Amino acid sequence: MAAAVLATGDRLYAFFDGPGLPPTATEGLLQDIGRVLQPVAYYRPQLDLIPLLSFASWSRDKVAKLDVQTLVYDLQDKDEAKALSRDLNHVRETSNLPPLSLTPLAAEVSAHEPPEREPVPADDRPLSFAHVAVGGTFDRLHVGHRLLLAATALICTEKVYIGVTGDQLLQKKAHKELLESYETRAHAAEIYVKAVRPGLTVQTGALLDPKAPTVAATDESMQALVVSKETVPGAQEINRYRKNVGFAELQIVVVDLIADTQAVQGGKVSSTALREQEAARQQGHTAA
């Protein structure tokens, strides 16, 4: 995957296929998605990597019709890649699309490989909910955001609510002048969720008051909330609110943090670090 990340321009689709794929999301599957995204964090944190899974409406026919030019593969998967290429190109030919080229990936990428993620025991019970919520700032959509949003899309079957921090709550952020607008951030999050799971209804809304209950708390039909490890206490507070008003508590789905990188100064991926990097670049251009 690291070689694919380095060989890609703007967008990389990761197609999960085969008899071993579960029929719905599980904790173990979400961990697998995190491992796929680790090289993205390490080398190119803002690369638009989109996981495609059959239970999330991605058949081979749909994958074949994507606007892509190349199917990349690991040398050890050559036979499987050739078979997949034949299938995809047959569909593309009948749809008057140009054939995909088949490109082997370099065996060795770099002397500086991403650190291996330690495997942890995973619960393989199905994670499938009609209504799911997620929240965040989503400035300069990066690999951590994509894992959070991909997990949200994969466990949801009908409707996603994305709470996006309003501009007025970000005035004390470092390099606030480089923050993307609420509209830009909300749109990027919505588009990514729909790319992972076409057909979902996605609603976005501004988080304007840190003391006010969120939609995840006040919408009785909500069933699950996707959070990162660092925001679990906020999720627990939401469940306390729901319990107090007589609503069913939400299933809290926790995704791991993806942070280690060689692409950002300080070695950790965050929107703040990316803004600092952009500010330094602009200052350098001004000085030159």
- 70-90 pLDDT, tens per residue? 999 887 788 989 999 999 999
- Contact residues for 30 (Cβ-Cβ < 8 A; gap 6+): 127, 151, 154, 155, 253, 255
- Contact residues for 131 (Cβ-Cβ < 8 A; gap 6+): 156, 158, 159, 160, 161, 219, 221, 222, 223, 224
The answer to whether residues 100 and 142 belong to one domain is no
Gap between the Cα atoms of 233 and 256, Å rounded: 15
In this prediction, what percent of the chain has a pLDDT beyond 90?
A: 64
Higher confidence at residue 103 or residue 279? 103
Assigned domain for 274 exists: no
Give the CA radius of gyration of the chain.
20
The answer to whether residues 95 and 24 belong to one domain is yes
Confidence bin at 280 (pLDDT 50/70/90): confident
The answer to whether residues 62 and 139 belong to one domain is no
The answer to whether residues 166 and 251 belong to one domain is yes
Assigned domain for 209 exists: yes
Q: Nearest CA to 216 among 183, 195, 247?
A: 247
Gap between the Cα atoms of 174 and 192, Å rounded: 25
User: CA–CA distance from 177 to each of 189, 208, 287 (Å)?
Assistant: 20, 19, 19
The answer to whether residues 179 and 219 belong to one domain is yes
Assigned domain for 96 exists: yes
Q: Nearest CA to 20 among 64, 65, 55?
A: 55
Total number of domains in the chain: 2
Assigned domain for 144 exists: yes
The answer to whether residues 75 and 187 belong to one domain is no
Higher confidence at residue 75 or residue 131? 131
User: CA–CA distance from 126 to each of 23, 24, 122, 224 (Å)?
Assistant: 8, 6, 12, 13
Question: Which range of residues forms the domain containing residue 162?
Answer: 129-255
The answer to whether residues 241 and 145 belong to one domain is yes
Element (H, E) at 281: helix 271-287
The answer to whether residues 181 and 81 belong to one domain is no
Q: What is the pLDDT of residue 94?
A: 95
The answer to whether residues 134 and 196 belong to one domain is yes
The answer to whether residues 179 and 137 belong to one domain is yes
Residue 258, both tokens: 């993806």
User: Looking at 88, 104, 120, which one is the last position of a domain?
Assistant: 104
pLDDT tens figures, 222-274: 999 999 999 999 999 999 999 999 999 999 999 987 767 776 666 777 777 77
Question: Residue 172's domain is classified under what CATH number?
Answer: 3.40.50.620
The answer to whether residues 226 and 150 belong to one domain is yes
Rounded to an integer, the average pLDDT of 153-168 is 97
Assigned domain for 64 exists: yes
Assigned domain for 234 exists: yes
- Contact residues for 222 (Cβ-Cβ < 8 A; gap 6+): 131, 132, 133, 161, 215, 216, 250
How high does pLDDT run on average in the chain?
89
Gap between the Cα atoms of 121 and 182, Å rounded: 37
Residue 77, both tokens: 């998967």
Higher confidence at residue 6 or residue 130? 130
**Dihedral sign, Cα of residue 38, residue 40, residue 41, residue 46:** negative
Residue 111 has pLDDT above 50, yes or no: no
* Cut 0.85: pTM above it: yes
| Secondary structure class of 86 (helix, strand, coil) | helix
Which of 49-53, 69-73, 155-159, 237-241 shows the lowest mean pLDDT across its residues? 69-73
Assigned domain for 166 exists: yes
The answer to whether residues 96 and 164 belong to one domain is no
Residue 147 has pLDDT above 80, yes or no: yes
